Structure 1
Amino acid sequence: MPHVDPARLVELALGNDAAHDDVSALQHVAACGPCREELHLMTRVVLAARGVEEADLPTAPPARVWQRIAQGLSEEAAEPTTPPPDGGGSPPSPTPAARDHTRGRSPARDAMALALGLVAGAAVVRYWRRRNR
């Protein structure tokens, strides 16, 4: 007998109306360890999602975070490049901040990554605290 379709397992986890094929699906889940575990995990996700309250939702970072990001972006845009020493045809050498930007890094990007990491970390901590009550 083939495994229960994941979409069907989701329907079972959600507790939607029982259909004719639920009997065979439930019989398979009872006999199949992987399907039983998958249904168990999906049911846990459904219960956790239904238990989310407004206080669990992530909040926007403080205004100072966005101000610092905007400041970093404006500083980066305002930094001039160093003129060539020979006054000739070689292109200007970028400033250290511009060199970091060409490698995919900038102070603003680092600040954004830090802010997103903090928000994600706070959400994980809040989830684990609620789960372990």
Structure 2
Amino acid sequence: MPATSARRIQQVKRWHMSGARLSGHLPPADLAQHVLDGARTPWPPAMLDHLGRCASCRDRVRAFERVAAAARGGLPPEPLVSPPARVWEAILAEVRAERTGPAPDTRRRRSG
């Protein structure tokens, strides 16, 4: 086996043993699962070690934490912003147009 292939196999084994994948980052599904588990499941040491070195994976964990907190109701809702007046005018025009059109036929039709 060529030396580069042997080295590559060892590198892949290290990545898999550390919880990292070929991209060099922790799998998003694993990060999300640990965030959702909360304190019930401790983070494996290899994952903690990787998170200590990888800003990208830490950012992904923070994003998952924000989503989980919002889903649990732990974050205040974002303030609602009123749409521009033209949006309300368009809605009102649409409602008025529906009112002035022909009345819908509300009678039930018999089948057969």
What TM-score do you get using the length of structure 1 for normalisation?
0.36
Q: Which has the higher contact order (CA 8 A, sep 6+)?
A: 1
Larger radius of gyration: 2
What TM-score do you get using the length of structure 2 for normalisation?
0.42
